[in-house]
Amino acid sequence: MSSFDYRNQFQNNVQQYENITDTKHINLIYNLERHVLLKMFSRINSKDKALMDFACGTGRWTHVLENYFADSIGVDVSEEMVSVAQKKCKKTKFIITDITSVNDEKLDGFQFDIITAFRFFKNAQDQLRQDVISSIGKYLKKNGYFVFDLHLNSYSFMGILANVISFLELNKRLGISKLATKTISIRQVRKLFKDSDFEIVDYYGMGLLPGRSNFTILPNKVLSKVETFFTEKKILRNYSYNILVVAKKK
C-alpha cells in the first residue's frame, strides 16, 4: 500500500510549486479557465456571495477570485503555502486546517455559495479525494456550487502520453515524477461523486492541442484564439488537457 499523501507533497518546497504553475502552457490553461469562471460569476451575481478557495496553495487563484466575491476564505493544510498566499491577497482571510479531520473546528459556522479547488483532484490520492467530497459539502449552501479542475485529463493527447510513460515504467529513465504522469478523467470523477451530496451539472475543456510546460505547437496569440473557440463551444471537451467541472449541491 502506498504511503503517498498529497497533503505533504509541497509542504517544504513552496518554490517548486510556484515554478510548476508558472509556464507558458499552464498560463494558457489558466487564462482559459479564468475566462469561463468570470462568465459564471457574472451569471450568478457573485459580488454579494461568499467563496472558499479550498487547497488554495500559494494563492495563485485566490488573489484573482477575491475580487469577485463579497467574502473570500482560503483554506490549506500548509502554513508555508499560506504565508506566500497572504502576500498576494488583499481581502482574503486564510485558515490553515484539514477539512477531512474529524477534529476540524476552524470552519465551524462558515457557509459558502461557491467552493473552488484547483490542481487538487488530479494529484490527490483516491482516499483523500473521497474524504474531501464527503467533508466539503457541509460548508456549502444548498444549491451552491463546487467548481474544480482536472489538470491532466486521461483522454487528452498529453494524458495518453503520460499513461504510456507510466505503463512502460519510464518515469525514472526520463526524470519525470510519478505525480507528473498521474492522470484523471471526467468518468472517474462521475464515479467519485455518484453517491455524494453533489450533482455534476456542467464541465468545460481547456487545452485541446498538445502542450507541456513552455512548449506549445502554435504562437501564443493564435493558440489562445483557437483554444478559446474550442472551450466556449465545448467541442471535444472530453479530450482536452484540462477539464473544469461544475458540481451543484443537491
* C-alpha neighbours within 13 Å on the C-beta side of residue 40: 23
Tell me the pLDDT tens digit for each residue of 9-38: 655 667 776 766 778 899 999 999 999 999
Tell me the pLDDT tens digit for each residue of 163-182: 999 999 999 999 999 999 99
Extents of the domains making up the chain:
6-249
For residue 213, the model assigns a pLDDT of 85
CA dihedral 151, 40, 201, 75 (to 10 degrees): 60
The average pLDDT across 216-222 equals 93
Please tell me the distance from the alpha carbon of residue 138 to that of residue 105, in angstroms, as a whole number: 12
Superfamily (CATH) of domain 6-249: Vaccinia Virus protein VP39 (3.40.50.150)
Residue 85 has pLDDT above 80, yes or no: yes
The average pLDDT across 191-204 equals 97
For residue 1, the model assigns a pLDDT of 44
Please tell me the distance from the alpha carbon of residue 13 to that of residue 175, in angstroms, as a whole number: 18
Place of cell 456550487: 145
Tell me the pLDDT tens digit for each residue of 135-153: 999 999 999 999 999 999 9
- Which residue, among 158, 153, 150, has the nearest Cα to 176 in the 3D structure? 158
Please tell me the distance from the alpha carbon of residue 143 to that of residue 145, in angstroms, as a whole number: 7
For residue 7, the model assigns a pLDDT of 64
What percentage of the chain exceeds 90 in pLDDT? Answer: 86
Place of cell 475566462: 35
What percentage of the chain exceeds 70 in pLDDT? Answer: 93
Helix, strand or coil for residue 61? coil
Computed over every residue of the chain, the mean pLDDT equals: 93
What's the pTM? 0.93
Tell me the pLDDT tens digit for each residue of 39-72: 999 999 999 999 999 999 999 999 999 999 999 9
C-alpha cell at 7: 497533503
pLDDT band at residue 101, thresholds of 50, 70 and 90?
Answer: confident
Lowest mean pLDDT among 4-13, 221-230, 236-245: 4-13
Alpha helix locations (H) across 12-125? 14-20, 24-43, 62-65, 79-88
C-alpha cell at 74: 482560503
For residue 22, the model assigns a pLDDT of 77
Is 92 in contact with 66 (CB distance < 8 Å)? yes
